[in-house]
């Protein structure tokens, strides 16, 4: 996710033109192996920002001479923050997963304003990708990340990090110490087996055990808050989230609501009502993790990331803002004022400004290059196709690759642009076109899952003879699938344009139809227009009065006085 990762194995300094903007509206879910049907661990991630260009970053492994350094390029701005010592050996990184199946994702919670602009040269994005190049396990990743910010200083605001390997899943939250102060305070917790968790731009770790191996924290995480006057209670009652990122109405409505929507769908038996999300009960707090009602598949994880609060009081398709085709999207700004009052639009997990998304699947019983699959997609989760990219691949499909295009220039070679083109057609006529989109998603993703076992069986056989042969096979497979999805989605977009051109709906035989809107939408029109559009009965046409029939002329020779 960080442009600066390209400098991991080279001395390249990336220009500002390659910079990506702040990603401060992301959603991530964490799933332990005890909560999945196949015993895999999983992390999901939506990288959301209105200026983010979605692409699949790739950094090859490298060996580096003693004394080598690497540039730290701030992801949000493209600015060179400084240089740090390079590791002697770095690992291959595909997107947010490395060759050992270690995966890291994030969401920005910002936190207290007093803690903005800390002194340091390692921003949160660089922290992720430097660590992926240096760590093999989740615990090792936490050690690497916290040592980096201690030595070089942290350069960002508050972050929640999802960190997982094939065996352990951790949530770590970190925030800098404010202007002029080096380092950061942080806490990390391992999820108990059989549970899931999520975060979405708000800190979620509250109280935590002070003496157990599955909880780690900075030595000054509590004392620093005491020095600032933000906490005065007993250590055992200290809450990281409530101290460093207090929950307000908008945070509950925009952030906790997304966590709630994952929880409500994964564990309906818990009966978590909308009061956990709508701001009506500020004291209601979601648990840090839950046990799902049933174990999850990769497809379940994808479905949970394709969410618009359907079937809840927050359902985006249910008010006039959804338009005649029940679009579960709202263009920004998120908050707005009218007639002296402030209002908001809901913020769902699935959103139009996603740059890229993934579901990371990590499996301990397979060789790492085969066990790790980054199911990768670009743009909106509701309209993307998750495509398998294996941890052991040596290159990525060109349509996903860095440098093929950018956010400011449309390109048919870029999957980001092709998927956005289709999605923007869908937004205009959502209730109709989403049916077509889901049909194509099921066909493509279903094919990947149907083939997965055989693909991996072949890869394992090759790996036994030659690990490099397995990597080559998986590279060819992953590249081929990426290219197939790209070509298919472009053809699909062309078909949509033909089918729905100018408001028509054309069936398979070419016949044009004009289906009516819903009654609820017509009622909206009536309420807005009153009687202006009412079709009135025409008055009866007036007919002239009946005239008396003329008297016939008498026959010749007849006496007119008779008869």
430-465 helix and 415-428 helix, angle to the nearest 10 degrees: 150
Domain that holds residue 160: 3-425
The answer to whether the beta carbons of residues 380 and 57 sit under 8 Å apart is: no
Indicate whether 515 belongs to any domain.
no
C-alpha closest to that of 100 among 373, 394, 369, 464: 369
User: Alpha-carbon distance 463 to 449, whole Å?
Assistant: 21
Indicate whether 563 belongs to any domain.
no
Indicate whether 487 belongs to any domain.
no
Query: Which regions of 321-464 does DSSP assign to beta strands (E)?
Result: 335-338, 341-344, 354-362, 373-378, 387-390
pTM beyond 0.75, yes or no: yes
Q: Give the position of tokens 């349509």.
A: 399
Produce one character per residue of 295-305: b if its CB has 16 or more CB atoms within 10 Å, e if not: bbbbbbbbebb
Q: Residue 357: CA atoms inside 13 Å, Cβ hemisphere, count?
A: 31
**pLDDT tens series, the chain, 563 aa:** 333 333 323 222 232 333 343 445 899 999 999 999 999 999 999 999 999 999 999 999 999 999 999 999 998 788 999 999 999 999 999 999 999 999 999 999 999 999 998 899 999 999 999 999 999 999 999 999 999 999 999 999 999 999 999 999 999 999 999 998 999 999 999 999 999 999 999 999 999 999 999 999 999 999 999 999 999 999 999 999 999 999 999 999 999 999 999 999 999 999 999 999 999 999 999 999 999 999 999 999 999 999 999 999 999 999 999 999 999 999 999 999 999 999 999 999 999 999 999 999 999 999 999 999 999 999 999 999 999 999 999 999 999 999 999 999 999 999 999 999 999 999 999 999 999 999 999 999 999 999 999 999 999 999 999 999 999 999 999 999 999 999 999 999 999 999 999 999 998 888 999 999 999 999 999 999 999 999 998 888 776 665 556 666 656 555 544 44
Indicate whether 103 belongs to any domain.
yes
Indicate whether 440 belongs to any domain.
no
Q: Residue 229: CA atoms inside 13 Å, Cβ hemisphere, count?
A: 1
Indicate whether 507 belongs to any domain.
no
The answer to whether the beta carbons of residues 378 and 356 sit under 8 Å apart is: yes
Indicate whether 27 belongs to any domain.
yes
Torsion (CA) 95, 99, 101, 102 in degrees, nearest 10: -70
Domain count, the chain: 1
Query: Which regions of 125-181 does DSSP assign to beta strands (E)?
Result: 158-164, 169-176
User: Alpha-carbon distance 139 to 549, whole Å?
Assistant: 111
The answer to whether the beta carbons of residues 8 and 70 sit under 8 Å apart is: yes
Helix locations, 4-121, DSSP H = none
User: Alpha-carbon distance 521 to 527, whole Å?
Assistant: 10
User: Alpha-carbon distance 276 to 247, whole Å?
Assistant: 12
Helix locations, 245-386, DSSP H = 249-251, 257-266, 298-304, 368-371
Q: For Cα atoms 38, 42, 44, give the angle at the middle one, nearest 5 degrees.
A: 140
The answer to whether the beta carbons of residues 73 and 3 sit under 8 Å apart is: yes
C-alpha closest to that of 28 among 147, 169, 167: 169
Indicate whether 408 belongs to any domain.
yes
Q: Is the peptide bond before 333 cis (omega within 30 degrees of 0)?
A: yes
User: Alpha-carbon distance 323 to 338, whole Å?
Assistant: 19
Torsion (CA) 153, 155, 157, 158 in degrees, nearest 10: -50
124-132 helix and 138-152 helix, angle to the nearest 10 degrees: 130
């Amino acid at each position: 996710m960080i442009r600066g990762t390209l400098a991991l194995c080279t001395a390249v300094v990336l220009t500002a033109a390659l910079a990506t903007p702040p990603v401060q509206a992301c959603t991530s879910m964490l799933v332990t192996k005890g909560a999945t049907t196949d015993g895999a661990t999983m992390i999901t991630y939506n990288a959301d920002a209105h200026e983010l260009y979605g692409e699949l970053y790739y950094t090859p492994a490298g060996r580096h001479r003693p004394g080598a350094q690497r540039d730290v390029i701030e992801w949000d701005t493209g600015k060179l923050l400084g240089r740090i010592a390079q590791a002697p050996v770095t690992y291959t990184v595909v997107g947010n997963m490395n060759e050992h199946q270690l995966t890291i994702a994030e969401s920005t919670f910002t936190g207290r304003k007093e803690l903005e602009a800390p002194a340091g040269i390692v921003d949160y994005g660089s922290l992720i990708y430097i660590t992926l190049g240096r760590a093999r396990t989740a615990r090792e990743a936490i050690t690497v990340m916290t040592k980096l910010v201690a030595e070089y200083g942290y350069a960002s605001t508050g972050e929640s990090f999802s960190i997982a390997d094939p065996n352990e899943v951790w949530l770590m939250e970190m925030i800098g110490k404010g202007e002029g102060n080096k380092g950061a305070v942080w806490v990390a917790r391992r999820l108990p087996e059989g549970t899931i968790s999520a975060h979405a731009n708000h800190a979620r770790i509250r109280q935590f055990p002070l003496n157990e191996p599955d909880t780690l924290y900075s030595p000054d995480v509590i004392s620093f808050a005491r020095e600032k006057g933000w906490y005065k209670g007993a250590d055992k009652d200290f809450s990281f989230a409530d101290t460093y990122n207090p929950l307000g109405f908008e945070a509950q409505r925009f952030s906790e609501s997304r966590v709630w929507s994952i929880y409500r769908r994964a564990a309906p038996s818990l009966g978590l009502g909308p009061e956990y999300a709508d701001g009506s009960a500020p004291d209601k707090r979601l648990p840090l993790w839950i046990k799902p009602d049933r174990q999850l598949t990769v497809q379940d994880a994808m479905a949970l990331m394709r969410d618009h609060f359907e079937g809840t009081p927050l359902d985006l398709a249910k008010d006039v803002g959804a338009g005649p085709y029940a679009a579960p999207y709202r263009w920004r700004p998120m908050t707005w004022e009218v007639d002296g009052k402030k209002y908001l639009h809901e913020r769902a997990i699935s959103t139009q400004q996603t740059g890229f998304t993934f579901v990371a699947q990590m499996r301990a019983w397979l060789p790492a290059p085969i066990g790790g699959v980054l199911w990768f997609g670009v743009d909106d989760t509701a309209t993307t196709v998750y495509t398998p990219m294996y941890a052991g691949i040596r290159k990525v499909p060109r349509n996903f690759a860095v440098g093929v295009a950018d956010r400011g220039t449309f390109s048919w070679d870029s999957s980001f642009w092709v998927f956005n083109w289709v999605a923007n057609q869908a937004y205009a006529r959502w209730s109709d076109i989403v049916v077509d989109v889901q049909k194509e998603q099921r066909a493509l993703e279903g094919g990947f899952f149907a083939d997965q076992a055989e693909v991996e069986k072949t890869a394992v056989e090759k790996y036994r003879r030659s690990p490099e042969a397995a990597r080559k096979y998986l590279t060819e497979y992953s590249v081929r699938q990426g290219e197939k999805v790209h070509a298919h989605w472009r053809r699909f977009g062309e078909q949509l344009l033909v089918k729905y051109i100018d408001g028509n709906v054309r069936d398979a035989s070419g016949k044009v139809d004009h289906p009516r809107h819903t009654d609820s939408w017509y009622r909206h029109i009536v309420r807005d227009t009153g009687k202006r559009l009412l079709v009135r009965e025409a008055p009866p046409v007036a007919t002239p009065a009946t005239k008396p029939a003329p008297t016939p002329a008498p026959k010749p020779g007849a006496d007119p006085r008779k008869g």
